[in-house]
């Protein structure tokens, strides 16, 4: 395999550990914190997790290692969407495991949770691991989205663990995967399997965070990658002065990625789904808000701009959610076939018009035809509209175009509007991890092994104080049950880790809110440039603006 110079050089990079983990395994001891309670629904969560609920928060510190000597055979899986740094979690885990005892073994189950169910694995060794140090991607063992949640699945996993003598499983995943890690830990404890479960917080979406977990890994690198490209686009727009760029950025639901990119690049517009929902904004209101910026800039002779659109936006628009629900109902069961059999789009349109309420039809009618058709063509296996596939960047630019046409007819707008569309998502999920993510992920993995070694189960590997230099980071563990509450999922009450949405009274949003009126009219773009891996620390070890504002 031919390696790029950067890849070769990244192999040599030594990720920075928190100061307390730097003295070697024999000098890491535990400091017990207080007992924990779940964030809400304490009685219910306690009843569901009788063996793992209420445990203490713990922190590691320098001191005599008092963990019991025991051969460890650990299994690790990567779960869900790729996030830069996943390889380093596994490298940190492997290094701590081998540094503790060269006889310890690390299994990597392939293709996500299904690898555990199908007993499909590799056993890591130095040669294999060394090819993945400080690299992006999840290709070290692959990932998948199979959910590990039923008792039948847990029984299979228990059998697989028994077969290989596995003492602990590490699940690297987002809020759902770590919820399932907690349920699996409880199952293992209740059934006296002796197998521990430790989670690690992953997702570029940044929505697995709370008062304990300061950020999920991958968010830093992914947002820096998108911000580099958005900055470049801003500069191109300001050079050519003829295009409006509509940039959709990933983030299935929460708008953390969009907000961070806005803080980094100061675009003219950035929509925030959580705000749209809180203000109950309609599609037309959003389009009008963007069109105001276009028109005000055009009045200054600037027929160009940059708008960031979060991937999950349409689900936050109340009238759009109602429309989607009605469409799902309209095509439920056999009705899809009848719909598909209609010969022309005109026939289909009539069918839709007869089936939707007046209000939803009014919303449907203002959508561009390509989006209208998308709503009826792209369905998931349950027959539901795949909202994430909706090209919202095109939807909004089209709505803005119509809005501007009306202004032109009234004589209130004289500019030229030429939109260009982009979607940044997959471009960022497997980038070489930034130094922050390389360090953070390695620390999470290393720390996960220390939690295993000290006998903890149902814990999330926790590294905090992240806006400070790595030396000052704090390593420890938090019972996953502490982050849980009861939510309604698929018609049932379930214990889940609460997803973190953008807080409208939080410092990152407030910072953006105070400045966006100026950004909408002036040209205030900033150009973060490419991630820097080598050079001065103030350039290479930067955290996200979100994290630094949150920890100000």
Tell whether residue 112 is a contact of ligand FBP (CB under 6 A): no
What is the arrangement of strands in the sheet containing 305-310, beginning at the earlier edge strand? 269-270, 305-310, 244-249, 419-424
Nearest to ligand FBP of 179, 203 (CB atom)? 203
Tell whether residue 205 is a contact of ligand FBP (CB under 6 A): yes
What is the enclosing helix (H) or strand (E) of 323? helix 318-330
| Contact set for ligand FBP, span 428-447 (CB under 6 A) | 429
| Identified binder of ligand FBP from the candidate list 204, 272, 441, 542, rule CB under 6 A | 204
Please state the closest distance from residue 429 (CB atom) to ligand FBP, in A.
6
| Identified binder of ligand FBP from the candidate list 55, 98, 252, 297, rule CB under 6 A | 252
The string over 124-144, giving b where at least 16 C-beta atoms fall within 10 Å of a residue's C-beta and e elsewhere, is beeeebeebbbbbbbebbbbb
Residue 541 known to be catalytic: no
Tokens of 125: 């060794």
Nearest to ligand FBP of 81, 419 (CB atom)? 81
Please state the closest distance from residue 441 (CB atom) to ligand FBP, in A.
14
Nearest to ligand FBP of 295, 480 (CB atom)? 480
Interatomic CA distance for residues 307 and 146, integer angstroms: 35
User: Cα dihedral angle (154, 156, 158, 159), rounded to 10 degrees?
Assistant: 170
State phi, psi for 146 to the nearest 5 degrees: -60, 135
| Cα→Cα distances 444→204, 256, 425, 461, Å | 16, 22, 24, 6
Tell whether residue 250 is a contact of ligand FBP (CB under 6 A): yes
Nearest to ligand FBP of 217, 512 (CB atom)? 217
Tokens of 294: 């276009």
Interatomic CA distance for residues 87 and 142, integer angstroms: 10
Nearest to ligand FBP of 176, 212 (CB atom)? 176
Task: Please tell me the count of residues contacting ligand FBP according to CB under 6 A.
Answer: 13
The string over 504-536, giving b where at least 16 C-beta atoms fall within 10 Å of a residue's C-beta and e elsewhere, is eebebbebbeeebeebbbebebeebeebebeee
Tell whether residue 251 is a contact of ligand FBP (CB under 6 A): yes
Per-residue contact flags (x/-) with ligand FBP for residues 282 to 311, judged by CB under 6 A: -----------------------------x
- Beta strand 305-310 with 269-270 is parallel
Give the range of 183-191, 203-211, 452-460, 534-542 binding ligand FBP by CB under 6 A: 203-211
Per-residue contact flags (x/-) with ligand FBP for residues 82 to 111, judged by CB under 6 A: -x----------------------------
Residue with tokens 């005000």: 296
Nearest to ligand FBP of 270, 294 (CB atom)? 270
Interatomic CA distance for residues 332 and 483, integer angstroms: 36
| Identified binder of ligand FBP from the candidate list 15, 81, 206, 495, rule CB under 6 A | 81
Tell whether residue 502 is a contact of ligand FBP (CB under 6 A): no
Tell whether residue 57 is a contact of ligand FBP (CB under 6 A): no
Which positions ≥6 away from 88 have C-beta within 8 Å? 15, 133, 134, 433, 437, 438, 441, 442, 445
Give the range of 77-85, 152-160, 442-450, 467-475 binding ligand FBP by CB under 6 A: 77-85
| Identified binder of ligand FBP from the candidate list 15, 113, 174, 479, rule CB under 6 A | 174
Please state the closest distance from residue 543 (CB atom) to ligand FBP, in A.
19
Which positions ≥6 away from 338 have C-beta within 8 Å? none
Strand partners, 270: 308
Please state the closest distance from residue 83 (CB atom) to ligand FBP, in A.
6
State phi, psi for 496 to the nearest 5 degrees: -140, 155
Tell whether residue 113 is a contact of ligand FBP (CB under 6 A): no
Rg (CA), the chain: 25
Nearest to ligand FBP of 429, 482 (CB atom)? 429
Sign of the CA dihedral running 452, 458, 461, 462? negative
**Rounded to an integer, what is the distance from CA 277 to the centroid of its chain?**
20
Tell whether residue 80 is a contact of ligand FBP (CB under 6 A): yes
Strand partners, 115: none
According to DSSP, residue 18 is labeled: P
Give the range of 64-72, 202-210, 226-234, 533-541 binding ligand FBP by CB under 6 A: 202-210
| Identified binder of ligand FBP from the candidate list 191, 321, 372, 388, rule CB under 6 A | 388
Tell whether residue 391 is a contact of ligand FBP (CB under 6 A): no
Coil/strand/helix, residue 124? coil
Please state the closest distance from residue 210 (CB atom) to ligand FBP, in A.
16
205, 207, 437, 439: the active-site residue: 205
Nearest to ligand FBP of 211, 380 (CB atom)? 380
Residues in contact with ligand FBP by the rule CB under 6 A: 80-81, 83, 174, 203-205, 250-252, 311, 388, 429
Catalytic center residues: 205
């Amino acid at each position: 395999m031919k390696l790029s110079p950067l890849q070769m050089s990244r192999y040599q990079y030594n990720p920075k550990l928190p100061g307390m983990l730097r003295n070697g395994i024999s000098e890491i001891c535990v400091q017990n914190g207080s007992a924990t309670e779940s964030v809400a629904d304490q009685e219910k969560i306690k009843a569901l997790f009788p063996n793992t609920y209420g445990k203490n928060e713990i922190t590691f510190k320098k001191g005599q290692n008092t963990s019991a000597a025991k051969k460890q055979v650990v299994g690790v899986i990567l779960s869900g969407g790729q996030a830069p740094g996943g390889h380093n979690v596994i490298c940190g885990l492997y290094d701590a495991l081998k540094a503790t005892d060269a006889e310890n073994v690390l299994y990597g189950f392939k293709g996500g949770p299904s690898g555990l169910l199908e007993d499909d694995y590799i056993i890591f060794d130095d040669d294999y691991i060394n090819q993945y140090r400080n690299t992006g991607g999840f290709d070290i063992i692959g990932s998948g989205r199979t959910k590990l949640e039923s008792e039948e699945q847990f029984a299979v996993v228990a059998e697989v663990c028994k077969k290989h003598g596995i003492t602990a499983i590490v699940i690297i995943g987002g809020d759902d995967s770590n919820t399932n890690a907690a349920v699996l830990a409880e199952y293992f404890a209740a059934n006296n399997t002796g197998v521990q479960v430790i989670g690690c917080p992953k997702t570029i979406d940044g929505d697995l965070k709370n008062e304990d977990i300061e950020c999920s890994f991958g968010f830093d690198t992914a947002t820096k990658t998108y911000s580099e490209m958005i900055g470049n686009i801003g500069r191109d727009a300001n050079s050519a002065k003829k295009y409006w760029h509509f940039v959709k950025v990933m983030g299935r639901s929460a708008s953390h990625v969009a907000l961070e990119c806005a803080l980094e690049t100061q675009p003219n517009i950035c929509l925030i789904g959580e705000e749209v929902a809180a203000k109950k904004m309609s599609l037309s209101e959003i389009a009008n808000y963007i069109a105001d910026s276009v028109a005000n800039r055009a009045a200054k002779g600037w027929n160009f701009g940059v708008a960031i659109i979060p991937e999950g936006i349409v689900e936050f628009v109340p009238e759009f959610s109602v429309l989607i629900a009605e469409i799902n109902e309209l095509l439920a069961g056999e009705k899809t076939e009848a719909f598909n059999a209609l010969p022309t789009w005109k026939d289909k349109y009539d069918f839709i018009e007869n089936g939707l309420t007046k209000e939803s039809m009014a919303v449907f009618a203002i959508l561009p035809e390509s989006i209208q058709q998308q709503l009826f063509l792209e369905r998931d296996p349950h027959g539901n509209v795949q909202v994430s596939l909706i090209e919202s960047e095109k939807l909004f630019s089209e709505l803005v175009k119509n809005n501007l046409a009306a202004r032109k007819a009234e004589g209130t707008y004289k500019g030229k509007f030429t939109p260009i569309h982009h979607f940044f998502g997959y471009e960022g999920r497997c980038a070489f991890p930034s130094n922050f993510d390389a360090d953070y992920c390695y620390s999470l993995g290393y720390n996960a092994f220390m939690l295993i070694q000290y006998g903890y189960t149902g814990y999330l590997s926790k590294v905090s104080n992240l806006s400070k230099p790595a030396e000052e980071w704090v390593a420890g563990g938090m019972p996953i049950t502490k982050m849980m509450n009861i939510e309604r999922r698929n018609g049932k009450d379930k214990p889940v880790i609460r997803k973190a949405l953008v807080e409208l009274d939080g410092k990152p949003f407030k910072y953006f809110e105070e400045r966006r009126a100026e950004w909408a009219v002036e040209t205030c773009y900033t150009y973060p440039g490419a991630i820097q891996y080598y050079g001065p620390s103030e350039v290479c070890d930067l955290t996200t603006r979100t994290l630094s504002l949150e920890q100000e």
